[in-house]
Structure 1
Amino acid sequence: MRRRDLLAAAGGLTLSAQPLGAQPAAPVLGPAQREAVARAEAALSAIRTLKARFLQADSRGGTAQGTVWMQRPNRARFAYDPPATILVVADGTFVTFFDSAVNQTSSLPIGSTPLGTLLAERVRLDEGEGRVTAVQLGEGMIRITVVKRSNPAEGSLTLTFSDPPLELRQWTVIDAQAREVRVTLYGVETGIRIDPALFRFVPPEFGTPAPG
């Protein structure tokens, strides 16, 4: 799996402020779809802490696994299993990407990544810069696609929930070049205590705390 794909799914899809001319009209959501969006927002907002294993796959057949910790608001840690060499840490303000293979570190404001949507204090999928473009209601499943209102052609974030109970199971990032990266959660634990040190980025060779 390529480094770009690892970063995209973990939150590295940059949301540029450059509009692309006239935008299509917003889709009309029916009552059932609007209710599903409201339920999804409430379910996400209710998750204060989360730990899970994840399986990441891209449209070229690459895969990676790891462990993710999340804490609202705006904190996360994605620790990829070897042979992947990526560590992603959101500290509440920035998302830092570290690639130990090349000893390279870069950062983005969390609000410019999909993690800003997932980990906001109060999740709002269809307000502000977010716009819901599709809601699929299936047997035991709800799927919601969100784009950036000012630049929908840039990419999309699709959240997939099991229902009932309504629980986040997967998210998919598609970029402007139609490259897709999908992250599936399993072994999910919520409402747990997480060591705050996990959300502070320290290069591993300088003593990053061991995840637990």
Structure 2
Amino acid sequence: MRHFLPLCAVLLLAPAAALAQQGPASIAPLAAAPLPPKPPLQKQTGPATRAAAATAPADGAVVQIAAAAGAQGTAETVQRINDYFNSFKTMVGDFVQVDPDGTRRQGEFAILKPGRVIFRYAAPSRIELVADGRSVAVRDKKLKTQDITPLSATPLRFLLSENFNLARNANVTGVYKDDVFATVVLEEKQPMVGTFKLMIMFDAQTMQLKQWTVTDPQGYDTTVAVSKLDTSYRPDPALFVINRD
């Protein structure tokens, strides 16, 4: 049996359709990894947007800023997020995933840049997601099957790139900041499929990664909140191998 693999499945989460076939996982309360509210995604047309346009990088970046209380300059926010992502090559931590139907799942993940990540879902889930720098595989450990997608065809490449630069990323449609969170919104258009949105949220003070939300072309959201992040531990490169035999 092969798993349905929509584009959102390779945005750092396993396909909800495949996971749903296995029954609910044993999940800790979401309070252990709180999910902050989503900011508005619509384009702003007030003074804050015009001010942001005036301070935007001159290289043609598509960035805007929400007219929120306590908002800071867009260029400064973009630079701080860039600096944060480029400050580490590895990251390990825990995650809690919330599927479109409200189901919560949890597990552990590890990143080894460029291009490599593994997400291991806690039992009773048998799904594992792995990217090896070229491809992304969603594996069923019990059935010993996998679906493989080119990494370059997925927005996952944004978070796993060696040189993260929002100012030069044409997929960025919004940058927002208030007193609690800094948020980046990206859109990925796929022919014959539609537009996927990826919203990444950071702590406004430290710029530490907090969560991301994938919105598929039908408007369904899947959210992943991360916690206990460690950028000093180097995971074993053997974790990120995809067997193509």
TM-score (norm 2): 0.68
How many residue pairs are counted as aligned between the two chains?
190
Contact map agreement 1:12 1:113 (CA 8 A) in 2: no
Letter in 2 for 1:140: V
Pairing partner for 2:177 from 137, 140, 150? 137
For structure 1, the 5+ residue unaligned runs are 14-24, 204-212
In the alignment, is residue 194 of structure 1 matched against residue 235 of structure 2? yes
Q: Deviation digits for residues 11-62 of structure 1, max 9, x if unmatched?
A: 579xxxxxxxxxxx9x967131232122212211222100000000022111
SS, match of residue 39 in structure 1: helix
CA drift at 1:179: 1.2
**Counterpart code for 1:46:** S
Q: Secondary structure at the match of 1:139?
A: coil
Residue 37 (1) aligns with residue 78 (2):
yes
Secondary structure of the residue that 1:37 maps to in structure 2? helix
Q: How does 1:157-176 map to 2 (within 5 A)?
A: 157-176=198-217
- 2:173 maps to amino acid: T
Cα–Cα, structure 1 residues 12 and 94, in superposed 2: closer, same or farther, change >3 Å? farther
1:114 CA drift (Å): 2.5
Identical residues among aligned pairs (%): 26
**What SS class does the counterpart of residue 60 from structure 1 fall into?**
coil
Aligned counterpart, 2:40:
none
**Structure whose CA Rg is larger:** 2
Determine the structure 2 residue equivalent to 1:106. Answer: 147
Q: Any stretches of 5+ residues in structure 2 without a counterpart? A: 16-42, 56-72
Distance between the aligned counterparts of 2:76 and 2:153, measured in 1?
Answer: 27
Q: Verify: 1:127 aligned to 2:127, yes or no.
A: no
Kept in 2, the 8 Å contact 1:8–1:181? The answer is no
In the other structure, the counterpart of 1:59 is 100
Q: Quick one: distance in 2 between partners of 1:149 and 1:33? A: 24
How far apart are residue 108 of structure 1 and its match? 1.1
Q: Superposed, which structure 2 residues align to 1:9-20 within 5 Å? A: 9-10=11-12
Q: In structure 2, what is the Cα distance between the partners aligned to 1:65 and 1:97?
A: 16
One-letter identity of the residue aligned with 1:71: L
Superposed CA RMSD: 3.0
**Partner amino acid, structure 1, of 2:178:** G
For 1:3 and 1:107, locate their aligned partners in 2 and report how far apart those are by CA, in whole Å.
Answer: 11
Distance, in Å, in 2 between the alignment partners of 1:150 and 1:106 is: 19
Q: Retained in 2: the 8 A contact 1:9–1:172? A: no
Between Structure 1 and Structure 2, which shows a larger proportion of strand residues? Answer: 1
Paired with 1:8 and 1:181, the residues of 2 have a C-alpha distance of 12
Equivalent pair of 1:169/1:185 in contact (CA under 8 Å): yes
Deviations 1:105-126 (A, max 9, x none): 1111112223200010101235
**C-alpha displacement at 1:145, in angstroms?**
0.3
**Does the CA contact (< 8 Å) of 1:154 and 1:175 recur in 2?**
yes
CA distances 1:140-163 after superposition (whole Å, capped 9, x unpaired)? 310110113787951111110002
C-alpha distance in structure 2 between counterparts of 1:137 and 1:80, whole Å: 31
Looking at structure 2, the residues matched to 73 and 122 of structure 1 have their Cα atoms a distance apart, in angstroms, of 9
Task: Say which of 186, 205, 215 aligns to 1:146.
Answer: 186
Distance 1:99 1:201, change over 3 A: same
1-side partners of 2:76 and 2:210: how far apart?
19
Partners of 2:11 and 2:156 within 8 A in 1: no
Amino acid at match of 2:175: V
